[in-house]
Structure 1
Amino acid sequence: MAFHFVGIGGAGMSALARWLRHKGARISGSDLVESPILDALRKIGVDAYAAHDANRMGQPDWVVVSDAIHPDNPEVIEALRREIPIWRRSQLMGWLLRDYKVIAIAGTHGKSTTTAMTATILEAAGYDPTVLIGADVPLPAPWQGNLRLGNSEWAVVEACEAYESFLDIRPYLALITNIEPDHLDYHGTFERLLKSFANFSKHVPREGYLVACGDSHGVREMVKMLHGIGGHERPPILYGLGSHNDLRAEITARPPTYTEFRVHNSHWLSDAEPTLRIPVLGEHNVQNALGATCIALLLGVPVAVIRDALAHFRGVKRRQEIVGEAMSITVVDDYAHHPTEIRAALSALRQRFPNRRLVVVYQPHLYSRTRDQLHGLIESLAAADFAVITDIYPAREQPIPGVSAALIADGLLERDCPPTLYVPIKEQIPSRLIPHLQPNDVVVVMGAGDIEKIAPLLLRRLEARGQARRLTVAVLMGGDSPERDVSLLSGLRVMQALNPDKYHAVAVDPALLTGKEGYWGLQELLTQERPDVAFIALHGRHGEDGAVQGLLELLGIPYTGSGVLPSALAMNKYIAKMVFREVGLTTPNALLLSDAEDESLERVQRRLRLPVIVKPNQGGSTLGAMRVFAWDALPRALRKAFAYDAHALVEELIEGVEVSVPVLGVREPYALPPVEIAPKSGYYDFHAKYVPGETEEIVPARLPSEILELLQQTAVTAHLALGCRGMSRVDMIVRETTPYVLEVNTIPGLTPTSLLPRSAEAAGLSFGELVERILSDALEEV
């Protein structure tokens, strides 16, 4: 038979696909995006692809649809058109389990862990069960992630209440971990949810068992409802921490690495009261282990086997999972997404990491859950020492007006504790969070969506900042500005200077859609593994104006130089002049023109004095610039400037000593020695700037020491006024004792004739050391 899975990348769907493939069925399937799960399925012969495409479905006998798939999916529509039978995932699972004695684990929280614990005990006891779990289990074959294919009559499965999918299962033994308001987008009310659990409980045959956690208020309400509607003849067996339960746990030890508890039992079990130890933390995990123990005891598993199996329990993925540690900061990944789960997870992490600051990065799951659980989410997250809230993971839902993750952040901010950041784009979380982290922090990345992707990114960023490994540096060069060739020279020189023992350099040309000849293009930058840092050597448009900086921030890649706004301000010479004057700096008088009409020419003649210099308002490298000594030359100069930019800056030409002062540093920027520029031609044009030997660069400038000090102070003031960081080069003219600020260049050239490297060399920094300093500043700013 042939099965086609719509949404095959989901945990439950992929497990069933593997199971059917193991049985010899022909399997195909689609998902919204590519993922490692699709790659793994292809390796076992599954035709898995992304995105959904009705033309690739083939000729299946059955189509299996995830509950997360909308009815307007093109493959679902095609299956209906062809009248191919359609099953829900739960219907297929029920069909596959029809010949098994099924142990079904249901409940709002703890299903995956309880299922894994139960399977671990039964495997140790020789039951050889088939197991399906909603999370991966880190165990070798016969485990395949969240699937274990056994050879016995027993099956242990996670049964979900969402969309009442658990009603497609006929369990021999059912366990309910707890019942709380959740999935109300489907059930509507808590009472209807309770009724759904009661109907699930009624599926247990008279010779079977119903087990439930009596600590849960929802479970106790469901039991009352079950009695009222004539449910299971045998009363449910209750377990938990409370004294009213049939099987009760008393916690006896809570050290950082395990939890120990004694089991007290009633008349229906033996008189022994064993002490058990689990290598996971929190009262909720004691409840989970007690539920698994109850099942095992009902099946006659010896206590010694239970004790040994639980002591060696390996856990499940994304449950307090340690991702790694860097710079004395531990990064943890956790699936908690409901207020109760968040409280339990944070409590367990407090036990595991006593006296350490707990930083929570939380991604809400579903608009409806955020709306229904808003108060509880705020209250539970308030237990953190620092919180970061990112946007809602919608899964199967469309946005709901008035519902936003910002409501959670606002609720926390109104409490004044914990300190809270709202970062809508999750890829920006590492750069926004790291400046707030402290040594010995524990960062837990939390949620049921795709927030788990941020944990390794954060860890990589911390490793990069601590230089804990060889870093990948994307050197951005080329681009689409008139200064492309200069940019390529700068970029290639940077790549040559990077120490190959510390850095892996990748050349990136953003002007290319796809890479070629040793360069990445935009496509590779967007799709390949993110580099640790970008070294921007792009000059002119789209390199210095904030455009590429904005792209890198969206991608969450730290970069050298200034941010979006400082770059845009510095690139706009006219606006930069206004900022300089606000902080008391002197600049030449200037006008901004967008045309060369007579009215504009007359305005220039009324407001400015000859000589003037005309240049593109946004540009660099002196391209398009022209000096004007007679008014009749002004129209030609404007036409030349307009060839490079829509606006031209007409500025009074100040006669004096031309100097350039580089600035470095992030926290406390400092100026390097001023460079005096003395072109042989008397004019610092493009030729004089970039042709070796055409200009004499004198470091330090031949000016009195007090003027040199004033130039350095002026450069730092201009740098800070625009909000620059990392590096800049401030160009000035000194007339007598007054420095006139011309512009700030946020991406100074790094060619053999460029001024920043010359000044750095005079200050004792080799070119390699300068590149290293610029990279270090970029990582420090993260």
Structure 2
Amino acid sequence: MKNIAIAMGGYSSEFEISLKSGNVVYDYLDQSKFKGYRIHILRDKWVYADDGNREFPIDKSDFSVDVDGEKIVFDAVFNAIHGTPGEDGLLQAYFELLGIPQNSCDYYQAALTFNKRDMLSVLKPYGIKTATSYYLNKGDKIDTAEIVSKVGLPCFVKPNKSGSSFGISKVKAEAELPIAIEVAYKEDNEIIIESFLDGTEVSVGVINYKGEVIVLPITEIVSENDFFDYEAKYLGKSQEITPARISEELAEKVRAVAKRAYEVLKMKGFSRSEFIIVDGEPHMLEMNTIPGLTAESLIPQQARAAGISLTDLFTNSIELALSGK
């Protein structure tokens, strides 16, 4: 029986969603193989939370925990932290230094993909299409006319490093840009402003399943709101249609691009990439390396459509980590 730490929480606006994801992993863990421990990694505390809601502090020097006089060490970590420090490489580097296997990608890949503009820059030479973009760092002069001339209207203003659509605005008039930029700066000190891509939005998971990189069924996103924002993602304000209502030819293009990005970046674990299909060509928006694992989340939906149960999905991820793959 292997001891598995399920890391959840985090330091970002996504911590509540991460706690939900972590609890889903805990609930669906194969208890014949693994003993799961819910590890809450929060700004003010790192603790093991047992089923009675008692909390035991984590010893950060070796990531162990003392439970009623017994020292518990972990064979592997299931990383369910969206945002920092679980999705940006900090925890991956920490666990690598400690020699504890973890199921997500390595620290460099996490840091790169968490930075939307750096990741898209790396993928562009491989023929992966993206929106036209304009970058701002906090303190830069804001020239709204220059931004509009580069990306056009409407456009999207996004924090460069955040998830769950926190801080994103769709801007329809030049006068709205300064407010949208302020909103994005609340989440991050770097901003990416992208041209509006008018097309079909899809999301697709890529995983290593039993040693083979596979692309999960594609989900089409139809948001009731202006875009696939927080409400659309988590509060039911969207239709998520799996498999997507696109031709097999288009689906094959999306699968090929998603798999190529995964392999070019030397990814491990889960990835979920977002695309907008414009004029028959998928344009990549971003890649999530710790995608949501709640009942409403897309990777669980796609896995079910592929005939993979959550227990199998999680078991496979942990066993790959334990085997060093």
Describe the SS at the equivalent of 1:726. Answer: coil
**Could you tell me how far apart the structure 2 residues matched to 1:638 and 1:682 are?**
18
**Could you tell me how far apart the structure 2 residues matched to 1:589 and 1:761 are?**
35
Deviations 1:272-317 (A, max 9, x none): xxxxxxxxxxxxxxxxxxxxxxxxxxxxxxxxxxxxxxxxxxxxxx
Q: Which residue of 2 aligns with 1:132?
A: none
Q: Is the 8 A contact 1:596 1:639 kept in 2?
A: no
Describe the SS at the equivalent of 1:696. Answer: strand
Q: Is the 8 A contact 1:661 1:731 kept in 2?
A: yes
Q: Which has the larger radius of gyration?
A: 1
Letter in 1 for 2:33: K
Greater percentage in helix: 1
Count of aligned positions: 312
Q: Is the 8 A contact 2:158 2:167 kept in 1?
A: yes
- Which stretch has the larger CA shift, 600-609 or 633-642? 600-609
**Could you tell me how far apart the structure 1 residues matched to 2:93 and 2:139 are?**
33
Q: 2:180 aligns with which of 621, 634, 637?
A: 637
Describe the SS at the equivalent of 1:725. Answer: coil
Deviations 1:532-556 (A, max 9, x none): 1100000012110000111111111
Gaps of 5+ in 2: 66-71
Q: Which residue of 1 aligns with 2:38?
A: 507
**Could you tell me how far apart the structure 2 residues matched to 1:695 and 1:616 are?**
22
Q: 1:694 aligns with which of 237, 240, 243?
A: 237
Q: Is the 8 A contact 2:145 2:174 kept in 1?
A: no
**Could you tell me how far apart the structure 2 residues matched to 1:581 and 1:521 are?**
44
Q: Which residue of 2 aligns with 1:305?
A: none
**Could you tell me how far apart the structure 1 residues matched to 2:234 and 2:187 are?**
19
**Could you tell me how far apart the structure 2 residues matched to 1:609 and 1:558 are?**
45
Q: Does 1:648 align with 2:197?
A: no
**Could you tell me how far apart the structure 2 residues matched to 1:610 and 1:575 are?**
23
Deviation at 1:752, TM superposition (A): 1.1
Q: Does 1:526 align with 2:63?
A: yes
**Could you tell me how far apart the structure 2 residues matched to 1:732 and 1:538 are?**
23
Deviation at 1:514, TM superposition (A): 4.8
Deviation at 1:471, TM superposition (A): 0.8
Deviation at 1:518, TM superposition (A): 4.0
Q: Is the 8 A contact 1:657 1:733 kept in 2?
A: yes
**Could you tell me how far apart the structure 2 residues matched to 1:662 and 1:653 are?**
23
Q: Which residue of 2 aligns with 1:293?
A: none
Describe the SS at the equivalent of 1:509. Answer: strand
Describe the SS at the equivalent of 1:510. Answer: strand
Q: Which residue of 1 aligns with 2:68?
A: none
Question: In 2 relative to 1, CA 765–603 (structure 1 residues): closer, same or farther, beyond 3 Å?
Answer: same
How do 1:612-691 residues align onto structure 2 when only pairs under 5 Å count?
612-665=155-208, 667-691=211-235
**Could you tell me how far apart the structure 1 residues matched to 2:282 and 2:172 are?**
22
Question: In 2 relative to 1, CA 617–521 (structure 1 residues): closer, same or farther, beyond 3 Å?
Answer: farther
Q: Does 1:485 align with 2:16?
A: yes
Deviation at 1:520, TM superposition (A): 5.1
Describe the SS at the equivalent of 1:541. Answer: coil
Question: In 2 relative to 1, CA 597–630 (structure 1 residues): closer, same or farther, beyond 3 Å?
Answer: farther
Q: Does 1:495 align with 2:26?
A: yes
Q: Which has the higher contact order (CA 8 A, sep 6+)?
A: 2
TM-score for both structures, normalised by structure 1? 0.39
Q: Is the 8 A contact 2:207 2:215 kept in 1?
A: yes
How do 1:189-588 residues align onto structure 2 when only pairs under 5 Å count?
470-511=1-42, 512-515=44-47, 517-519=53-55, 521-523=57-59, 526-528=63-65, 529-588=72-131
Deviation at 1:597, TM superposition (A): 5.5
Q: Which residue of 2 aligns with 1:723?
A: 266
Question: In 2 relative to 1, CA 526–777 (structure 1 residues): closer, same or farther, beyond 3 Å?
Answer: closer
TM-score for both structures, normalised by structure 2? 0.91
- Which stretch has the larger CA shift, 709-718 or 602-611? 602-611
Q: Which residue of 2 aligns with 1:171?
A: none
Deviation at 1:778, TM superposition (A): 1.8
Question: In 2 relative to 1, CA 765–718 (structure 1 residues): closer, same or farther, beyond 3 Å?
Answer: same
**Could you tell me how far apart the structure 2 residues matched to 1:520 and 1:559 are?**
21
RMSD: 1.7
Describe the SS at the equivalent of 2:147. Answer: helix
Q: Is the 8 A contact 2:206 2:213 kept in 1?
A: yes
Q: Which residue of 1 aligns with 2:319?
A: 776
Greater percentage in strand: 2
Letter in 2 for 1:475: I
Question: In 2 relative to 1, CA 750–514 (structure 1 residues): closer, same or farther, beyond 3 Å?
Answer: closer
- Which stretch has the larger CA shift, 714-723 or 581-590? 714-723
Q: Is the 8 A contact 1:507 1:519 kept in 2?
A: no
Question: In 2 relative to 1, CA 521–575 (structure 1 residues): closer, same or farther, beyond 3 Å?
Answer: farther
Gaps of 5+ in 1: 1-469
Letter in 2 for 1:513: K
Q: Is the 8 A contact 1:508 1:521 kept in 2?
A: no
